[in-house]
Structure 1
Amino acid sequence: MRLATYNVEWFDDLFNKQDELVIDDHWSGRRDITRAEQAEALGVVFTAMDADAVMIIEAPDTGTRRDTHRALENFAHAFDLRTRKVLIGFANETQQEIALLYDPDKIKVRHVPGESPDAPRFDTEFRIDLDFDATEDRVSFSKPPLEVELTTSSGRVLHLIGAHLKSKAPHGAKTHDQVMRASICNRRKQLVEAIWLRRRVDALLAEGESVIVLGDLNDGPGLDEYEHLFGHSSVEILLGEGDTALYDPHAAQALRGRLTPQPSTARFYIEPEKRYLQALLDYVMVSRDLRDLAREWRIWHPFDDAQCWRAPELCKALLTASDHFPVTLDLAV
Structure 2
Amino acid sequence: MPGAATAPADEIRGAPFGTAPVPLSVLDLATVGSGMTATDALRATTALARLAERRGYHRFWVAEHHSMPGVASSSPTVILGHLTAHTERIRLGSGGVMLPNHSPLVVAEQFGTLEALAPGRVDVGLGRAPGTDGATAAALRRGRTDGPDEFPRQVAELSRFLDDDYPDGHPYARVHAVPGPVQGTVPGGVQSPHRPPVWLLGSSGFSAELAAQLGLPFAFANHFSAANTLPALDLYRQTFRPSALLDEPYALIGVSALAADTEAEALRQVRTGALSMVRLRTGRAGLVPTPEEAESHPYTPMEEEMAEGWLANVVHGTPDAVREGLNALAKRTGADELMLTTQAHGPQARLRSYELIADAYQV
Shorter-chain TM band: 0.3 to 0.5
- Larger RCO: 1 or 2 (CA < 8 Å, sep 6+): 2
Higher strand proportion (structure 1 or 2): 1
Specify which structure has the higher proportion of helix. Answer: 2
